[in-house]
Amino acid sequence: MVREILKLGNPKLYEVCGEVTNEEREMVKEWVKDLHDTLMDYRKTYGAGRAVAAPQIGVPKRLLYMYTDRPYVFINPVLTFPDEEVYELVDDCMSFPGLMVRVSRHRRADIRYLDENFEPRAMHLEGDLSELLQHEYDHLDGILATMRAVDNKSLILGQMKRDF
């Protein structure tokens, strides 16, 4: 089911999410379907979107959904950084369409998580995927990209992105 994406300013977006429990295994299937449907609907509407976090659809759980070359489900992810190398980029978010923000992100990240079958997995991420998962992971801790702005002049209207 396509769910409403919570928008910037909604207090639910600033809450720290709880872990998905073993008792919620059946609910995870429903949440993942909703995340998938919502992401595909967003792509159809806006022509963009690679991932969505459960709190963005009002589910305060540590659950991420990414669809790049195939679907990925990240249950109770833990993100770490193998080094301190960072870079700046202009980031956008489904929770504030039309607004972009210049942020600093780690170039590389490692993520440990449970997949949709609750099997432990790990992945090394670089560049775009590292940035993407850092962005989504932040949602689980109630952090929006606007809170990661490199300075107070880093908010950009989407139609102006090409100038930066």
User: Which domains are assigned to the chain?
Assistant: 11-163 (3.90.45.10)
How far is Cα 119 from Cα 158, in angstroms, rounded to an integer?
Answer: 39
Q: In the prediction, which pLDDT does 164 show?
A: 44
Query: Do the beta carbons of residue 163 and residue 39 sit within 8 Å?
Result: no
Q: In the prediction, which pLDDT does 159 show?
A: 60
Q: How many CB atoms lie within 10 A of CB 86?
A: 12
Which residues of the chain are modeled with pLDDT < 70?
159-164
| Residues classed as catalytic | 136
Q: What is the pLDDT of residues 56-75, one digit of tens each?
A: 999 999 999 999 999 999 99
Beta bridge partners of 125: 109
Beta bridge partners of 88: 104
